[in-house]
Amino acid sequence: MPQGVLIFIPPGSGSKRATRRGFSFGGVRVTKPERSIVFIDGNNWFHGLVAAGVTQRSQLNYAKISTKIIGAREWIATRYYIGQVRQEENHQLYADQRRFLAMLSATDKRITTYLGRLEPRFIENDLAKEIKRYLAELPMKIDKDVYKQLVTLADHHRTTRIMAEKAVDVMIAVDMVKMAEHSDYDTAYLLSADGDYTPVAEYVASLGKKVFAASPLHGAELAKVVYKFIPLDELWFKDCY
């Protein structure tokens, strides 16, 4: 808990005694709301919105989302983390992401954005492998030229190039821990269902902080260790525009 945080009330009768989150005044303890920071794993959050059927994703107001999710607690900040689209990779996605991040920052000064990396990666294409297996086990003969073309296509597409997000989960983990150790917040809201954050949530809780997780996705592992896992659905977002 933060040290030396006081609420001052005009003196009347009785005495006041300072505490870490308030003071006693005339025998009545007065406390401040818990300070809350919202940490958003942008990629996981996006897939959650898609799964929930939220169609107007770019129009969501993250100030409204933040204040709604924390309830009566004090909203200190919202930190949005995402892998940065490189302009040379996709001009349209690059422009769309820049527009979205600018909109986030303009919504409220308490909302800030943090960029990780997107790196190309080649993965095995299961469909191409299945096509080759199917052709090899065909019970009847087909035109050899058609057969050869299909095999060539399968070989050509045996690997698929994807863009893998790097550093984002590490950035979130480091910031959650560092800010908890510095007592920058009392309660953390992690907008993600990724079970990889389980050790982070456990450590932050060991420091005396509450950790909530919220997502439209099912986060079974994360739900085991956080103070509470908040499941979201499409209706939850109706007043967040």
State the pTM of this model.
0.76
> pLDDT category, 207, cuts 50, 70, 90?
very high
Domain range annotation of the chain: 1-32, 35-120+166-237, 126-160
How do residues 52-108 score in pLDDT, each as one tens digit? Answer: 999 999 999 999 999 999 999 999 999 999 999 988 888 999 999 999 999 999 999
Q: Please tell me the predicted confidence (pLDDT) of residue 142.
A: 87
| Ranges 28-42, 90-104, 149-163, most confident | 90-104
DSSP the chain: --SS--------SS-EEE-SSEEEETTEEEEPPPEEEEEEEHHHHHHHHHHHT---GGG--HHHHHHHHHTTSEEEEEEEEEEEPPTTT-HHHHHHHHHHHHHHHHH-TTEEEEEEEEEEEEEE-HHHHHHHHHHHT-SS---HHHHHHHHHHHHHTSEEEEEEEESHHHHHHHHHHHHHHTT--SEEEEE---GGGHHHHHHHHHTT-EEEEEESS--HHHHHHSSEEEE--GGGGTT--
CATH of domain 35-120+166-237: 3.40.50.1010
How do residues 173-200 score in pLDDT, each as one tens digit? Answer: 999 999 999 999 999 999 999 999 999 9
Q: Taking residues 154-162, report their average pLDDT.
A: 78
Q: Taking residues 22-51, report their average pLDDT.
A: 84
Q: Taking residues 131-156, report their average pLDDT.
A: 84
